[in-house]
């Protein structure tokens, strides 16, 4: 644990004017966003830059017999055409497995396939031209001769005898399976007062970042460096990937990540078309740009959450949970996605089911299989919305079977707030959670009595409204136990360098990245707080592997908890170094001095002694006047990694108030609440809206979003008119509250908040819909809860 | 491809003349021919609203308008709106309320919200939501955006009284 305490360094949240932690201050990068002055990857233009477009497989599974490029090469503006064989000369394939996922297997994947396409939308041939339009003209002129092959689409039959084995060398379509077992589930079920069972579907959906995946790769033969402008969450990871696959030293690759137009996990994976762009630049020796269009995004961005889950819950007569018994199956497409793998989502379901509750007997199996659809991988709140929907759906069914109020059954079973540290049946270790405090806070916000009265009144008039609850846990601040121990070069550590310049201003360079969640905003607050300067004096630099300390970037809610702590520690170190210099200049003991609002002051009295700009002037320009042996490095770097717990779990609870139109099957969310505990809240304004955005993303998946395939494996939802996303008119007013249980692993005490909204919203909505439909004897457990599914549940159609 | 069409139009108060391919849509014309990268291409089929700009006083989808059809038109983009100061209070409200996260939708959202300020100064919260429902934001949950627009409307109504 950390020996530095807030008191020991004179920090508190209240007593200093530059105590910014916990304050709702605006983000520094907002003015450019609202004025249209941001710089996304597609806004970057380089000399001699060319554009790439891809011919994508029209078949779910087909052999490539021949590729005729002659007509394409005649198209005005077209420069080159690349096939899989062309790129394999400079680029090695990758295999996405993790050693700690026992028995996991997947097949080698090339930037463009050598002889076979395995999903509709897979990039197969690349055309490079002087404009994107010309490149698309070139794609239209390509002639590919295909031999369509039988496709394995249904995950339920993927392991049956007679299934199409997508990669014959693997033997079968099984990627990974794991069972977690604790206690005696069979005995608990046999002895239970009630056992309730249900099957849940979570519809395959995708991220729909408004800025599509974008990349410019620029191989410079003169200095033998590859510079990649990339819309990514993880610049350092991608630096390593490009270097390894293209057979270069990591130091020869620089990844620059300017503004990113949304990520949500979509932009933390290795995509074959993006590696192809780097390989093409390596061959051409000039910059190549590729920006996916919306059709390409739908067929080639990772999908997620394609799960069927059958679950049973056993309860005693008092409503105490005795056991969960869960079977999960998921189809992940034809390849596990590099380097995080596509087995993690199923693994998370095993880790997280039953998570908020205190119970003894647990069995959960996930079975991860291949299929000829777009690959799936980690997307915001990986596995959480699935586990929460299953858990909370079963808890509500148990309450119904017992005649218990949904709030009461949760109160009886949520892990007590004084029970920590606590280890859950599948082995997750919780440092400190606050389920009961969160429930109490939620009930102070949700007018339950008024809602129940309204519900009864409305029912008399044939209007069906329901109130649903969902408790959840969220995995944040990951350690190397998530990926590193499995052999992936994914950094769980992160770093920050903080320096003071001659004018007394401060620059922080961080390995965590900004995609809109406010990373740069909170880093500025933390560093201003830690050094003791006004916010405006701090500049934040992220997203450049050449200038920032090595780090993991953005994933699994780690920006504030890991990157923020590294920034705080380096800011404190810089402050201490400044005070050593100031002590020498002012002939005072450093510990009698402090820095407040950019001034060196006497710690006791607050009397101003010297502005930092004066200290900077002396150090940088008149170092001759300082004692010869005085250390004067006004720059400090610290790294941070969690060591005590594999993950910092957070918790929370949501409530959803919704109305179901029983004639049309349409659902209207009327109001939504969330109380969550992400430890120290650094900026309530940012956290609250991030929670709301997460809720809306969860509601979108639960109500509208669905990647629908036809029987041949063609994706039918490839426009935003077919794949519906939540818009402002459909979305409710949302109320957000917090309980703060800081992690003791860091001085800052922050955990992650970015996935909490998405983790719980689908389950809360499902329970609200089922609460509304209960008098009609109807129930839905298959997401998305479309009008057709609701009308079928009602027996109307 | 086919022969270029010469157009002369006013963009952000400046007269420009260019030869454009008939298939060039307005947002590509703004971004690629004029370097106005504040307008974004999000879906290029008229759903997401990231390319929202003003043409002859009304907001349009820049991806559904062909540049070749705009000879003589008066186009305002986020850059022009900003330079004019017309929506300075709205943009300040977006900043104060954290009504943008990744920012990719934001220029289009600001253009659509500025249209509310011009044409619907009495808009209610529900009407604001309805008016902005053609602009997709994946990050915020919309509430902060609605708050920022509502605060600006209320402040302007207060100023007018």
Comparing alpha-carbon positions, the chain A residue that sits nearest to B148 is A34
**Residue in chain B nearest A75 by alpha carbon:** B1
CATH number at residue B105: 1.10.150.120
**What global pTM score does this model have?**
0.97
The predicted pLDDT at position A1 comes to: 35
- Topology of A303-480+644-793 in CATH? Aldehyde Oxidoreductase; domain 4 (3.30.365)
Structural domain range at position B140 = 85-160
pLDDT higher than threshold 80 for residue A153? yes
- Closest residue in B to A26 (Cα) is B96
Of B81, B104, B137, which marks where a domain is finished? B81
For residue A688, the distance in angstroms to the closest alpha carbon of chain B comes to: 9
The domain defined by A46-151+212-260+266-300 carries CATH number 3.90.1170.50? yes
Q: How would residue A5 be classed by pLDDT, with cut points 50, 70 and 90?
A: very low
All residues of chain B having their beta carbon less than 8 Å from the beta carbon of residue A293 are 44
HSE-up (13 A, CA, CB side) for residue A480? 14
The tokens describing A637, both together, are 């770097």
Q: Which of B38, B59, B81 is the last residue of a domain?
A: B81
Mean pLDDT of chain A: 96
What's the rounded Cα separation, in Å, for the pair A307 and A300?
Answer: 19
For chain B, where are the E strands, in sequence order?
Answer: 5-11, 14-20, 52-55, 58-61, 74-76
Average pLDDT over residues A676-685: 95
Interface ipTM above 0.85: yes
Q: Buried b vs exposed e over A129-165: b needs ≥16 C-beta within 10 Å? A: bebbbbbbbbbebbebebeebebbbebeebbeeebbe
Nearest by Cα to A695 from A658, A665, A662: A658
CATH topology agreement for domains A46-151+212-260+266-300 and A303-480+644-793: no
CATH no. for residue B34? Answer: 3.10.20.30
Residues B72 and B102 both lie in one domain: no
- B58 with B96, same domain? no
Are residues B24 and B48 both part of a single domain?
yes
User: Two tokens at A403?
Assistant: 């005649």
Relative to beta strand A123-129, strand A50-56 is antiparallel
Residues B93 and B46 reside in one and the same domain: no
Decide if pLDDT at A9 tops 90: no
**CA pair distance B145, B158, nearest whole angstrom:** 20
| pLDDT > 90 fraction of chain A, expressed in percent and rounded | 97
Query: Nearest CB to B38: which of A31, A37, A133?
Result: A37
Banded pLDDT at A8 (limits 50, 70, 90): very low
pLDDT of A404 strictly over 90: yes
Cα separation of A759 and A780, whole Å?
Answer: 19
Verify that B70 and B101 share a domain, yes or no.
no
Do A554 and A494 meet the contact criterion of CB atoms below 8 Å apart? no
Cis-peptide, bond into residue A339, ω within 30° of zero: yes
Minimal CA–CA distance to A180: which of A447, A366, A45?
A366
Task: Give the DSSP per-residue string, A201-252.
Answer: EE--EE---SSPPEEEEEEETTTTEEEEEE--S-HHHHHHHHHHHTT--GGG
Q: What is the reported pLDDT for A466?
A: 98
Q: CA–CA separation, A486 vs A449, rounded Å?
A: 50
- Tell me the pLDDT tens digit for each residue of A87-140: 999 999 999 999 999 999 999 999 999 999 999 999 999 999 999 999 999 999
pLDDT score for A31: 97
CB contact under 8 A, A731 and B141: yes
Mutation site for B-interface testing, chosen from A44, A75, A210 by largest number of B Cβ within 10 Å: A210
Both tokens assigned to A398: 């148990």
Let me know whether B95 and B71 are in one domain: no
User: How many domains, in total, are found in chain B?
Assistant: 2
Residue A3: predicted pLDDT: 41
Angstroms from B16 CA to nearest CA on chain A: 20
Query: Measured between CA atoms, how close is B8 to chain A, in angstroms?
Result: 23
Same domain, B108 and B130: yes
Under 8 Å CB-to-CB from B92, ≥6 apart: which residues? none
Residue A336: DSSP 8-state: P
| pLDDT beyond 70 at A13 | no
For residue A453, pLDDT over 60 is answered with yes
Closest CA to A276 of A213, A222, A209: A213
Which one of B94, B101, B133 has the shortest CB-CB distance to A516? B101
Query: For residue A755, what is the nearest residue in chain B, using CA coordinates?
Result: B139
Residue B8 backbone phi and psi in degrees, to 5: -125, 125
Q: Of B58, B81, B104, which residue sits at a domain end?
A: B81
Return residues 15-54 of B near A (CB < 8 Å). 21, 23, 31, 36-45, 47-48, 50
pLDDT in tens, A529-577: 999 999 999 999 999 999 999 999 999 899 999 999 999 999 999 999 9
> Is CATH 3.50.50.60 correct for A7-38+493-640?
no
Q: Say what the pLDDT of residue A16 is.
A: 59
Domain definitions of chain A by residue range: 7-38+493-640, 46-151+212-260+266-300, 303-480+644-793
Chain B, 55-114: which have a CB under 8 Å from a chain A CB?
77-79, 82, 91, 94-107, 110
Nearest to B27 by CA among B91, B82, B94, B107: B107
- Report pLDDT for A19: 82
**CB–CB contact A729 B38 (8 Å):** no
Per-residue pLDDT tens for A262-302?
Answer: 999 999 999 999 999 999 999 999 999 999 999 999 999 99
Q: Is A728 on the interface with B (CB under 8 A)?
A: yes
> What pLDDT is stored for residue B161 in this prediction?
58
Contacts of A791 (CB under 8 A, 6+ apart): A664, A665, A797
B124 and B90 within one domain: yes
pLDDT at residue number B160 = 63
Q: Do B42 and A26 touch (CB under 8 A)?
A: no
Q: Is omega for the bond preceding A794 within 30 degrees of 0, making it cis?
A: no
Name which of B36, B94, B135 is nearest A30 (Cβ-Cβ): B94
Tokens of A207: 């991220």
Average pLDDT over residues A567-589: 97
Question: pLDDT (tens digit, 9 = 90+) per residue, A194-252?
Answer: 999 999 999 999 999 999 999 999 999 999 999 999 999 999 999 999 999 999 999 99
Residues B77 and B16 in one domain: yes
Number of other CB atoms surrounding residue A460 within 10 Å: 7
Query: A31: cis peptide before it, omega within 30°?
Result: no
Q: Which residues of A714-725 are buried (b: 16+ CB within 10 A; e: fewer)?
A: bbebbebeebbb
Task: Collect all residues with Cβ–Cβ distance below 8 Å to B114 and sequence separation of at least 6.
Answer: B54, B81, B86, B87, B90
A733 CB within 8 Å of a chain B CB: yes
**Between chains, do A211 and B38 touch, taking CB under 8 Å as contact?**
no
Q: Which of residues 669-708 of A touch B (CB under 8 A)?
A: 685-686, 689-697
């Amino acid at each position: 644990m950390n020996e530095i305490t807030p008191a020991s360094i004179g920090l508190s949240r209240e007593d200093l004017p530059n105590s910014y932690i916990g304050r709702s201050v605006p983000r520094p990068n907002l003015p450019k966003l609202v004025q249209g002055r941001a710089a996304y990857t597609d806004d970057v233009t380089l000399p001699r830059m060319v554009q790439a477009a891809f011919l994508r497989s029209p078949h779910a599974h087909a052999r490539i017999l021949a590729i005729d490029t002659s007509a394409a090469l005649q198209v005005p503006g077209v420069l080159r055409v690349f096939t899989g064989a062309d790129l394999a000369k400079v680029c090695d394939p990758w295999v996405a497995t993790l050693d700690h996922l026992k028995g996991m297997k997947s097949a080698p994947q090339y930037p463009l396939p050598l002889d076979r396409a395995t999903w509709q939308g897979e990039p197969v041939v690349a055309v490079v031209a002087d404009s994107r339009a010309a490149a698309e003209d070139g794609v239209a002129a390509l002639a590919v001769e295909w031999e369509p092959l039988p496709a394995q689409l249904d995950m339920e039959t993927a392991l049956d005898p007679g299934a199409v084995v997508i990669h014959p060398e693997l033997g079968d379509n099984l990627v990974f399976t794991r069972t977690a077992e604790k206690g005696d589930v069979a005995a608990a079920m046999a002895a239970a007062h009630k056992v309730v069972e249900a099957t849940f579907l979570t519809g395959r959906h995708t991220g729909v970042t408004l800025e599509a995946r974008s990349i410019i790769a620029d191989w410079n033969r003169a200095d033998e460096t590859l510079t990649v402008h990339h819309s990514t969450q993880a610049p350092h990871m991608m630096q390593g990937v490009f270097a390894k696959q293209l057979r270069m030293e990591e130091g020869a690759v620089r990844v620059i990540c300017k503004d990113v137009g949304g990520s949500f996990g979509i932009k933390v994976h290795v995509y074959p078309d993006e590696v192809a762009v780097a390989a093409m630049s390596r061959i051409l020796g000039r910059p190549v740009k590729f920006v996916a269009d919306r059709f390409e995004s739908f067929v080639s961005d990772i999908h997620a959450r394609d799960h069927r889950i059958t679950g049973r819950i056993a309860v005693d007569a008092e409503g105490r949970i005795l056991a969960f018994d869960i079977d999960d199956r998921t189809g992940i497409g034809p390849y596990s996605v590099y380097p995080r793998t596509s087995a993690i989502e199923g693994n998370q379901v095993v880790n997280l089911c039953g998570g908020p509750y205190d119970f003894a007997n647990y069995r959960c199996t996930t079975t991860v299989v291949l299929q000829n659809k777009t690959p799936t991988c980690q997307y915001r709140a990986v596995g959480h919305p699935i586990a929460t929907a299953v858990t909370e759906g079963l808890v509500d069914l148990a309450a119904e079977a017992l005649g218990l109020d949904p709030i009461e059954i949760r109160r009886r079973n949520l892990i007590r707030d004084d029970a920590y540290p606590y280890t859950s049946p599948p082995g997750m270790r919780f440092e400190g959670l606050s389920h009961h405090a969160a429930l109490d806070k939620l009930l102070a916000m949700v007018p339950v009595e008024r809602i129940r009265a309204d519900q009864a009144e409305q029912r008399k008039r044939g209007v069906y409204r329901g109130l649903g609850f969902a408790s959840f846990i969220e995995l944040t601040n990951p350690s190397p136990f998530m990926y590193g121990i499995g052999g992936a070069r994914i950094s769980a550590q992160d770093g920050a360098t903080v320096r003071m310049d001659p004018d007394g201003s401060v620059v922080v360079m961080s390995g965590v990245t900004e995609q809109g969640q406010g990373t740069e905003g909170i880093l500025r607050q933390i560093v201003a707080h830690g050094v003791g300067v006004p916010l405006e004096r701090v500049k934040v630099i992220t997203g450049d592997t050449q200038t920032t300390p090595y780090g993991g970037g953005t994933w699994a809610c780690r920006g504030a908890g890991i990157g923020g702590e590294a920034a705080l520690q380096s800011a404190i170190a810089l402050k201490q170094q400044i005070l050593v210099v100031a002590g020498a200049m002012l002939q005072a003991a450093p510990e009698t001095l402090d820095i407040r609002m950019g001034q060196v002051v006497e710690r006791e009295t607050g009397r101003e002694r010297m502005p930092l700009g004066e200290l900077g002037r002396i150090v940088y320009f008149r170092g001759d006047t300082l004692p010869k042996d005085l250390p004067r490095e006004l720059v400090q770097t610290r790294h941070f990694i969690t060591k005590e717990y594999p993950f910092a779990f957070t918790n929370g609870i949501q409530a959803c108030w919704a109305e179901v139109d029983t004639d049309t099957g349409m659902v209207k969310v009327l109001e939504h609440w969330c109380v969550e505990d992400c430890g120290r809240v650094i900026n309530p304004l940012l956290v609250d809206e991030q929670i709301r955005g997460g809720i809306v993303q969860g509601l979108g998946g639960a109500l509208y979003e669905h990647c629908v395939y036809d029987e041949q494996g063609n994706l039918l939802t490839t426009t935003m008119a077919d794949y519906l996303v939540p818009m402002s008119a459909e979305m409710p007013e949302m109320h957000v509250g917090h309980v703060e249980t800081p992690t003791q692993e860091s001085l800052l005490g922050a955990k992650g908040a970015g996935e909490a909204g998405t983790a719980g919203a689908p389950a809360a909505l499902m329970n609200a819909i089922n609460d509304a439909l209960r008098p009609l004897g109807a129930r839905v457990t298959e997401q998305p809860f479309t009008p057709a599914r609701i009308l079928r549940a009602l027996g109307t159609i | 491809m086919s022969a270029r069409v010469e157009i002369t139009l006013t963009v952000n108060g400046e007269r420009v003349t260019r030869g454009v391919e008939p298939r060039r849509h307005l947002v590509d014309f703004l971004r690629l021919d004029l370097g106005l990268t504040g307008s974004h291409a999000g879906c290029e089929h008229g759903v997401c609203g990231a390319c929202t700009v003003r043409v002859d006083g009304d907001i349009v989808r820049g991806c559904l308008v062909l540049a070749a059809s705009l000879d003589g038109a008066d186009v305002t983009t986020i850059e022009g709106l900003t330079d004019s100061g017309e929506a300075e209070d709205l943009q300040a409200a977006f900043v104060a309320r954290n009504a943008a996260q990744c920012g990719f939708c934001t220029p289009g959202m600001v253009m659509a919200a500025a249209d509310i300020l011009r044409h619907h100064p009495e808009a209610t919260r529900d009407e604001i939501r309805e008016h902005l429902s053609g602009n997709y934001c994946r990050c915020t949950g919309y509430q902060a955006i609605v708050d920022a627009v509502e605060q600006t409307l209320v402040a302007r109504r207060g100023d007018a009284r």
